[in-house]
Amino acid sequence: MIKNSGTIVYSPSDLTLHMSSPFASWMARFALERPDELPDKDEHDELMDLLQQRGYAHEDAVEVQFKNDGKTVRRIDGASQKEKRVLTLQAMEDGIDVIVQGLLERAPFAGYPDFLVKKCGSSVFGDYFYEVWDAKLSRSPKISFMIQLCCYAEMLESVQGVLPPQIVIFLGSGELSINRTNDYFAYYKNLQSAFLDAQERFDANSRPDPFQSKNWGAWSGFAQKLLVERDHLSRIAGITRSQIKKLNHK
């Protein structure tokens, strides 16, 4: 998430962060609102850097494959968000087969899907529309991928007038995971609603309990410090979440 002239713009990854960790999601918003009070993030992770570079290489390989298949490919490179918006729309109107890193927006969300892939069908552009494709190193699809792609698909709908019926993941194995958008869209909309409600009710003085999140994102050190300071029951070896809940309600 970023703040632009007082308005917060969210990305699809902000949704998946909220899904996996309300604590890390709250910390991301706190970083925008009170950067001077922000605790230290976790130390730099070289493994994550390596995985990120492998991810970029995977995306580049997919782009090369599209070109080798004879597709027209246009990468969106603009000096500003406004320019990228114009260039993305122009590429769609030109009927380019594959658009790389185009800008999609539907307030309050915006983002850059890996690929927009042209398909036969009806849209405001005529006898074709675009699908959202993403390149992931994972060898199997995950629900977080589907949430991200549904968010992009909804942004894409606002441009072309039709929700793409499929969302596609180019897996690290080289296989395509082709999924029906409507199989995940209702779940995505419920998550989006909960996320936006949490953002609307954000209180910088009311931090979520880190124990209630599956992970802590880039704030694991800080979360552990909070649990130690509270002498939280989770620090007892072998204790389960259900046991903690029962003890807390006694």
Q: Which of 246, 198, 200 is nearest to 23 (CA)?
A: 198
Residues 6+ apart with CB under 8 A from 217: 17, 20, 21, 23, 24, 27, 28
**pLDDT at site 52:** 85
Whole-angstrom CA distances from 42 to 51, 185, 223, 227, 235 are 17, 34, 10, 16, 20
Cα atoms in the Cβ-side hemisphere of radius 13 Å centred on 86: 6
Q: Say how far apart CA 250 and CA 247 lie, in whole Å.
A: 5
CB atoms within 10 A of CB 197: 10
Supply 23's token pair.
Answer: 């604590």
User: 3-class SS at 217?
Assistant: helix
* Successive 10-residue mean pLDDT values, the chain, 250 residues: 90 94 94 91 79 90 96 94 95 98 96 97 97 94 96 98 97 93 97 96 92 84 81 44 44
Q: Angle at CA 149, nearest 5°, toward 148 and 155?
A: 95
Q: Say how far apart CA 209 and CA 212 lie, in whole Å.
A: 6
**pLDDT at site 18:** 94
**pLDDT at site 237:** 42
Identify residue 219 by its one-letter amino acid code.
W
